[in-house]
Amino acid sequence: MNKVEELLFRTRKTVRQAAEESDLDIDEIEIYEIEQCSSCSIWLKFTQLKDDMDGNPICRNCWEAYGD
């Protein structure tokens, strides 16, 4: 994971917040290894997310709470 991804991982921070914390221009940020849960907005690795019935990635906690 790159620096920005490490700042975002397991948080609900925005990309803008991570850019400000890392002193990067928001246009320079590239995110490859993590994605947000579409329900609770926590950033996790792709392998930690599961698609719901609509194809949206959700985390285990949201999947257990809401189901597919």
What pLDDT, in 10s, does the model give residues 6-29? 999 999 999 999 999 999 999 989
Q: Does the pLDDT of residue 67 top 80, yes or no?
A: no
Q: Does the pLDDT of residue 68 top 80, yes or no?
A: no
Q: Which residues contact 47 (CB under 8 A, 6 or more apart)?
A: none
Please say whether the beta carbons of 49 and 57 come within 8 A: yes
Mean pLDDT rounded to a whole number for the chain = 94
Q: Which residues contact 11 (CB under 8 A, 6 or more apart)?
A: 42, 43
Q: Looking at the 3D structure of the chain, how many domains does it have?
A: 1
Containing structural domain, residue 12:
3-66
Q: Which residue type does 4 have?
A: V
* Tokens at 63, concatenated: 């999947």
